[in-house]
A = this chain, B = another copy of it.
């Protein structure tokens, strides 16, 4: 049994049990948690002591005395159609009125009535009070919305817990650090707390200032939930500060964005982009004040990447300035492990595993064990690529202490994690090439493309998300570059550029593909030997007779119903290719919803025709998989792909082929698509990993290219 790298919850009423499990699991840190508090003499554990701290939401007394410092939110109403000259709009229709209050401060300056039918600001309106705006001189049958500020009267994260648990605790109210007095008060309160908690060695911020965007309909029902949106940072004060410091004007519509709230899938307007940058910079500055205080009192400062994460996102460009010691995330997949493991500007990363030791999340020994092992199995392959530094648990320790199988399973997970972390070190497995994943955002949204957070591949997205799933476990260095990075020449040194965004979104690029410089940068990159892997409708933007703007590079185009005059040949599908060798293509699912892609020079490896239409000149068919050569470089096109061991292997070979790296299957490579060969240069060790539910016997090539054979049990890791 090894020791360290594990945080467990403790409980004032479970001191001896804590000691026993600290030792049994080899944990080296204890933490408090919702519903449990640290023992009085917590130093006796001889471990680190984590304690959560909430900056903006727990100072009820001060908050009630200073309503002027409460946080705001930028909101817009639903659209209402004018069927007469005047229209009364209820600003809080369909909104939980205990959580929001219309902010009438300088409302004539900030609020906006917008005619959504002609897209203009409408001048004629008045506020009648009682949440009602009356719009006059309406154009008949035009739709109108009202943008306004509301004061946040209840911390939105607490609302749900409050109602579902039938709490009668004080309601949390969020204070806004944009007001210097409020910020000063928060800092002095923190200093008092630091003095009062000498036993705490690690302060765990949950999180800092501004909540992600939640709007409730009732106490139990939300209508908006966005982990990335900046609507809750907005206030008259923040707008003033933004203008004063940047010299730019901002209006509610910049945030509201027609009701899309300039969410992460949208390409923001320049003002909104500047605003987000500004808020990130301010939040980093403010957060640093709190972190510095922790350090002054000899404590480490870490943050949980959760509730009040807006402005201090770990991939924001100002994040490292905060000076945090660590970040805790909640990984649920290899992608999420990479998202945490690749954070920079901190000393360590930690992953909070499931289940929480709460009765509802860990209901019994068997079910709890199952949830734990599922969680662990879903991330192990990512850990083998590049591990995080620590793992941890939360909840009621006392409860799970009575689950013998669970307790043993936790020990097994902790040991296996430590073994991985020890063998791999603070590094990655040896890479076979450098891959740049392109999007509008670049590094800011590392490992978070196409979903609402890290792992949420919603409708349409799973066929793109799978690319990240592969990159999270394959032996390549992966960076996320923005289109601006590409324009700045930052593709240099990469072997491959990947585009895998849902069409029309920021992850895809949409109108960015109308920029000639972006197109030529990628053409140059590929022509000079780079690889380009495009998924879905890469570079798709209707312009100058083309949809797929890089159709010369990819060798495919999309029929947008503008070339039905073309007499098409039936697509010639090439059944054999280096990429598909050793891949069970019957388990490879392509994206059936990406349609009408047809070859313009590419070699097609997979395509189909809709049964509704005979082959013929009007029917472009649907190419799903194609390869092309362009100068010294190569490209691979995929309509999208499901995620499983066979598709990950297919992508592995596709990346190698695109970088002309066919020889790279001659070392650190197993014949079986279920088996990874991770090699770690620092330690000189290998991990052979069978990521299937069956035993596998396979040949593999070691780092020197020697052919060997191995048998691995289901999910077994073998260290050599």
Contacts and interface: CB of A to CB of B under 8 A. Distances in A.
Contacts of A221: 567
Nearest to A224: B565
Nearest to A618: B458
B225 A260 contact: no
Given A119-B544, A545-B257, A459 B610 contact: yes
Interface stretch (A137-145, A316-324, A479-487, A664-672): A137-145
B459 A613 contact: yes
A570 to B, nearest CB: 13
Contacts of A561: 265, 450, 460-461, 502, 504-505
A316 B213 CA distance: 55
Interface stretch (A4-12, A412-420, A516-524): A516-524
A3 interface: no
A596 interface: yes
Contact of A229 (B543, B565, B593, B616): B565
A222 interface: yes
A259 interface: yes
A651 to B, nearest CB: 18
Contacts of A620: 459
A390 interface: no
**Interface hub of A145, A545, A613 (most chain B Cβ within 10 A):** A545
Contacts of A593: 593, 595
A221 B569 CA distance: 10
Interface string A4-47: 00000000000000000000000000000000000000000000
Nearest to A621: B459
Contacts of A523: 81, 141
**Interface hub of A79, A139, A565 (most chain B Cβ within 10 A):** A565
A490 interface: no
For the complex formed by this chain, how many copies does it contain in all? 2
Contacts of A225: 565, 567, 617
A617 B595 CA distance: 25
Interface string A693-704: 000000000000
Nearest to A145: B545
A66 interface: no
A118 interface: yes
Contacts of A527: 83, 141
Interface string A261-299: 101011000000000000000000000000000000000
Interface in A107-124: 114, 116-119
Contacts of A224: 565-567
Interface in A529-577: 542-546, 552, 559-567
Nearest to A114: B544
Nearest to A504: B560
B564 A260 contact: no
A552 B81 contact: yes
A452 interface: yes
Interface residues of A, number: 78
Nearest to A622: B459
A258 B595 contact: no
A87 to B, nearest CB: 13
A117 B222 contact: no
A519 B566 CA distance: 34
Interface in A187-207: none
**Interface hub of A114, A460, A561, A566 (most chain B Cβ within 10 A):** A561
Interface in A70-120: 79, 81, 83, 114, 116-119
A237 to B, nearest CB: 25
A562 B503 CA distance: 11
Contacts of A142: 516, 520
A564 B452 contact: yes
A505 B527 CA distance: 34
Interface in A575-603: 593, 595-596
A426 interface: no
Contacts of A612: 459, 462-463
A391 to B, nearest CB: 27
B83 A631 contact: yes
A48 interface: no
A226 B117 contact: no
Contact of A266 (B261, B562, B610): B562
Given A258-B544, A452-B618, A544-B258, A562 B462 contact: no
Given A141-B523, A458-B618, 8 more contacts: A81-B523, A116-B546, A139-B520, A224-B565, A225-B617, A259-B545, A459-B595, A504-B561
17 contacts: A81-B552, A116-B545, A119-B543, A139-B516, A141-B523, A141-B524, A145-B545, A224-B565, A224-B566, A229-B565, A261-B565, A456-B618, A458-B618, A459-B620, A462-B613, A505-B561, A505-B562
A-B pairs with lowest CB-CB distance, top 10 = A258-B545, A458-B618, A226-B565, A141-B520, A259-B545, A141-B523, A118-B516, A459-B619, A116-B544, A117-B516
Interface of A: 79, 81, 83, 114, 116-119, 139-143, 145, 213, 221-226, 229, 257-261, 263, 265-266, 450-452, 456-463, 502, 504-505, 516, 519-520, 523-524, 527, 542-546, 552, 559-567, 593, 595-596, 610, 612-613, 616-621, 631
